[in-house]
Chain A
Amino acid sequence: MKIIVCIKQVPDAKDVRLDPKTNTMAREGVESIMNPFDRHALEEAVRLKELHGGTVTVVSMGPPQAEEVLREAVSCGADAAVLVSDRAFAGADTWATTYTLAKAIEKLDGFDLVLCGKQAIDGDTAQVGPGLARRLNIPYVSYVRKITGVENGVIALHRLMDDGYDEVEMPLPGLLTVVKEINDPRVPSLKGKMKAKSLSIAVLNAEGIEADPDSIGLPGSTTQVVKVFAPHFKGERAMLEGTVDEQVEQLANILEPYI
């Protein structure tokens, strides 16, 4: 089974600060980590490999330092790593990102399954997994909390829902996005760390993936981040008293000007 796992390097959420002057995220001195949901996707891929054989290739689109999370993934059981990196990819929204990732994956040696975390903790869109599946023209299931079997080119799984779960079967090749309930990711192994240290990581740039320059980076993005700000919570509050009917009336009066 050939498995591709898409991983993203994100700032550690425990340590997010906004620069009060520019209102952008202060990246200096903030530790970068592998997106936590992607750790679960990687773990599931490694478990599938251990059960069914095959290979796990991790792919990350990002700046050169994203190589760190690729090495971490190799130390946790991935076999190969590909960095998709080019200055021209900068500023990509999910539309341009899925295009870029799809072009990069098409350059690889085929796949049976693509695994992604359900979302990245920096952008929180949850769009890249499904968008990538559409670009690759393969089926996908999101919010997967358990893989129950792989047989005859069909993967059986549980999809987490608000009020329980769905049992779903999906033909391969396909794409899954996973939730954290799916597994407990392992820590790196010593042999894995040594392998990761010496592994050469393939880098694919815009030319290498034969990308249309108008479809990548900022020019290829349909959305732009215009402003980032920290919301201010004002400490105003009011307690309504009286009977239920009285309180409802008071509340209606408060809300009326906003309707």
Chain B
Amino acid sequence: MLMKWLLAAVLAGSTVSVWAVDDANKVVTDALRKLAPTSKIQSVTQAAVPGFYAVVADGHPVFVSTDGKYLIEGHVYDIAARRDLMDDGLTGVRKQALAKIPAEKRLTFAPQNPKYRVTVFTDVDCPYCKQFHQQIAEYNKFGIAVDYVLFPLVIHPGADKKAVTVWCSKDRNAAYTEAMNGQALASKTCDNPVSELSDIALAMGVNGTPAIFSVDGTQLGGYLPPQQLAQRLDELAAPAKATTAK
């Protein structure tokens, strides 16, 4: 008897939580339909702040109150932890998006036995991307494997053609390095994933380059020098240790 009751309770419980998810989606969909009718919702999760859903729409994180009455755009800080919780929803979306970019659509520069792996969205015409790549050997020396994803920015006219040229070169990595060293490459075209990759970047809320992400979707920075990037990755790998050290 008791077993039966427990089972019923468990079933009821699971039904309730399924309903709660439906409810969350409905509340958020209705709220966004009102404020931003053309937006596409990518994720709805329970926020770390009680009374709110963490939402990502069009690569943009917002909080929506669970009653659907209020929407917050900006930052939501956990005061004690000194941390912006707004990025949490985005991190999940970013992790999934990164997982969707296969290795063959990236330009990989890796050391022998990498300790860490980062994805770097890069634009051939972006000065800090150049600075980053000019130090690629050092990043590798720190055990960091770098997977570049081409993301020519619209603010750099012609950068898309250069990205395509890099992609269509026989030796992509060599062409990329040449381009980042300021060499002009003879324009090439072929079937390429550049626009597809740009769409993924925008859906992840990447709006500048370089943008560096860890495998779990955490944004580590815009440009970071090799040692600092290694440090960030160390901290991320051992967050508890880093906190006690402070």
Q: Is B truly associated with A?
A: no
